[in-house]
Amino acid sequence: MSPDTTHANDPAPSEVERTRLAGVRDRVRRRFEVDTRSLAALRIALGIILLVDLCLRAGRLELFYTAAGVYPMAAHEAASAVYASTSLHAFSGELWFQQFLFVVAGAFAVAFLVGYRTRLVGLVSLVLLVSLQARNPAVLNGGDRLLRVLVVVALVTPLGERWSVDALRRGAGRERVASVGTVALLLQPVVVFTANAIEKHGGEEWYAGDGLEIAVYNDLMTTALGAALADHAALLTLLNYGWVTLIAGSAVFLLVPVGRLRAASVAAYVSGFVGMGLTLSVGLFPLVLVAAVVAFLPGLVWDALSRRVPATVAERRPSAAALGPLGRPPAERRLLSGDREGTVAAGVVACGRSLLTVLGICVLVWMLAFSASTVAGHDVPDAVDYEHLDQQRWGLYAPDPTESYDWYVSRAYLTDGSTANAFGGGPVEFDRLPDPAAAYETFRHRKFMSAVGRAGADGAVAKSYADWVCERADETHDASVERIIVYRMHQPSPLDGEYEEPTRHTVIERDCAAA
């Protein structure tokens, strides 16, 4: 038979190409398709994180968010410049106003968690979150920035499709979805991990196997479990390379596999994040990172879990009628249901889907553009260079973990000629701390004092803090306070097994009489 001879029933070349393209599209779609139960789990996780964040902040509400604290309105306006008016929390420095906004944010977080008017309450929760973070950026770390980015990206996906009040009212939902929004959602953690791996590659320690050991030797950032690991160098080296492999290979481990292999990859990442939370004091980081990879869970995981739910429990799922007024369709949906021909309703649905597609594309471009600028080391245009919008860096321990830590000591000079600790408790101590982790009440206190140290004596944050120290010192001591000095104590980590003596640096020197 001649090589040029073809059978009559052989498919045309164009048909073969279409078949191949369809196969490629199906494989790509499968990897960016998300089970709606995973989206529901992500929504629940985000709602819980928002509530945890509010609870952790509430204990020091007056200190960080009112006029009587360390960051009054004057400091906020000076530090935030043109963006000072964007925070709802900045409308008043009174404690009651902050408490009111915290209660409102908590109510919307609960509504978001249970999936009631999911997109609307999610958007309000995002606005309140950004407002709270903008009120005092001095107490934020990378976990806070990742949280708001994750909420933004998640809101362009159907978070309320399953396991929600919205789903009960609707009566039916899709099992899986694939859209520009799900592409952005799945790419978001991969982009963050990859950028962090590139930043770490610019250092010297992580890819040499020493990064994690240096991190756990930082007594200020390490938990009791992390400190116990410091004595096991071989284990730390193994964990170090495992961690670097996970973040550097996230595009392969999370995006390429499907089914059981993807479930195993997610389990590996969650284990790493849980280990981070147990060994390092890094705030919301572990919780946000776990939430970021939940969307990768394939349906077989939820199928296996559902088989373990007793039938009596599964049958107790409430109906829309059992929810009473909450179970009724929204007013706008009831209005559209009166459209006999269905043309208006169909048009609204089509318009909504088109808008979500456009928003998904915008989020995807925004996320990739800013991450690329971070990796490339290029500054973004000044017109959009705003830390509450473009910050997507996960710079934790990158490019190298710090080999030292700081804490702050305040000395008060009294009118009777004596000196004392500005906050009471006897004389000022400059010796190495027996328990460095106790130097700060929470990680937000640590971040704030770091901001004070960076601001310099003439910075707005440092000036406000000095005024606050003068007031607290005057309330604490019987004699009046003439002036205060705030010192930064610098302690190298004992990487060789021996502690060096801490060094002392003057950060603020303030005449309290002029405050």
Statement to judge: residues 266 and 347 lie in one domain? yes
Q: What pLDDT is recorded for position 74?
A: 85
Statement to judge: residues 509 and 446 lie in one domain? yes
Q: Is residue 7 part of a domain?
A: no
| Residues of the chain under the 70 pLDDT cut | 1-13, 80-85, 312-316, 318-354, 356, 360, 366-368, 370-395, 425, 514-515
Q: Is residue 182 part of a domain?
A: yes
Q: What pLDDT is recorded for position 379?
A: 56
Q: What pLDDT is recorded for position 407?
A: 93
What distance, in Å, lies between the first and last C-alpha atoms of the chain?
Answer: 100
Q: Is residue 19 part of a domain?
A: no
> Using CA atoms, how far apart are residues 399 and 201, in angstroms rounded to an integer?
7
Q: Is residue 489 part of a domain?
A: yes
Decide which of 336, 360, 390 is a domain's last residue. 390
CA dihedral 269, 45, 394, 250 (to 10 degrees): 30
Statement to judge: residues 463 and 508 lie in one domain? yes
> Using CA atoms, how far apart are residues 281 and 467, in angstroms rounded to an integer?
29
What is the pTM for the complete model shown? 0.89
> Using CA atoms, how far apart are residues 388 and 84, in angstroms rounded to an integer?
12
Q: What pLDDT is recorded for position 478?
A: 85
Q: Is residue 347 part of a domain?
A: yes
Statement to judge: residues 442 and 309 lie in one domain? no
Statement to judge: residues 364 and 476 lie in one domain? no
Q: Is residue 17 part of a domain?
A: no
Q: Is residue 214 part of a domain?
A: yes
Statement to judge: residues 344 and 414 lie in one domain? no
Asked if residue 481 lies in contact with residue 512, where contact means CB atoms within 8 angstroms, the answer is yes
> Using CA atoms, how far apart are residues 510 and 84, in angstroms rounded to an integer?
26
Statement to judge: residues 311 and 336 lie in one domain? yes
Statement to judge: residues 338 and 419 lie in one domain? no
Statement to judge: residues 410 and 380 lie in one domain? no
Decide which of 361, 390, 419 is a domain's last residue. 390
Residue 421 makes CB contacts below 8 A (sequence gap 6+) with 409, 410, 411, 412, 427, 428, 429
pLDDT digits (tens, 9 = 90+) for 470-503: 999 988 888 889 999 999 999 998 887 788 889 9
Domain that holds residue 464: 404-514
Statement to judge: residues 421 and 371 lie in one domain? no
Q: What pLDDT is recorded for position 389?
A: 45
Statement to judge: residues 129 and 203 lie in one domain? yes
Q: What pLDDT is recorded for position 171?
A: 76
Give the total number of structural domains in the chain. 2
Q: Is residue 269 part of a domain?
A: yes
Decide which of 364, 390, 416 is a domain's last residue. 390
Asked if residue 279 lies in contact with residue 239, where contact means CB atoms within 8 angstroms, the answer is no
Statement to judge: residues 223 and 328 lie in one domain? yes
